[in-house]
């Protein structure tokens, strides 16, 4: 289809997917976000953690992953992603498959 309607007008669409609203529990949006938390362990390297995070979590570069790995090492854990439960479950499982040690999913 070439984007023309029978009356000769060209129709274009710039629809943007709706943004999901998360709230702090006041029942005004979709609920509190689910947290994906990576724990420090003795078997993953900084580079391995950075690679896993940058491979799985959207918007996390390798350099971001290294910063998160440093936070995980120094704090014992770090929230690496938060949002809707279904996505949190997917990222949690994928990070586990990369060998990372994760806390159980929880709501923030």
Q: What sign does the CA torsion over 85, 22, 62, 66 have? A: negative
Residue 5 scores a pLDDT above 70: no
Average pLDDT over residues 28-32: 71
**pLDDT at 60 exceeding the cut of 60:** yes
Please determine, for residue 84, whether its predicted confidence score (pLDDT) is greater than 50.
yes
What percentage of the chain has pLDDT greater than the value 70? Answer: 72
- Identify the pLDDT of residue 2: 46
This prediction has a pTM of: 0.73
Q: What is the CATH number of domain 34-107?
A: 3.30.1390.10
User: Is residue 99 over pLDDT 60?
Assistant: yes
Q: Give residue 71's pLDDT.
A: 98
> What's the pLDDT at 29?
58
Give the residue extent of every domain in the chain: 34-107
- 76: confidence class by pLDDT, cuts 50, 70, 90: very high
**3-state DSSP of the chain:** CCCECCCCCECCCCCCCCCCCCCCCCCCCCCCCEEEEEECCCCCCHHHHHHHHHHHCCCCCHHHHHHHHHHHHHHCEEEEEEECHHHHHHHHHHHHHCCCEECCCEEC
Per-residue tokens: 53? 């995070």
């Amino acid at each position: 289809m070439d984007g023309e309607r029978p009356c000769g007008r060209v129709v274009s669409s710039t629809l943007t997917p709706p943004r999901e609203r998360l709230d702090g529990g006041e029942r005004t949006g979709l609920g509190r976000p689910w947290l994906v938390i990576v724990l420090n362990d003795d078997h993953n390297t900084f580079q391995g953690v950075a690679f896993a995070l940058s491979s799985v979590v959207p918007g996390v570069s390798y350099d971001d992953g290294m910063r998160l790995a440093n936070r995980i090492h120094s704090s014992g854990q770090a929230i690496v992603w938060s949002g809707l439960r279904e996505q949190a479950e997917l990222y949690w499982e994928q990070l586990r498959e990369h060998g990372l040690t994760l806390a159980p999913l929880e709501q923030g």
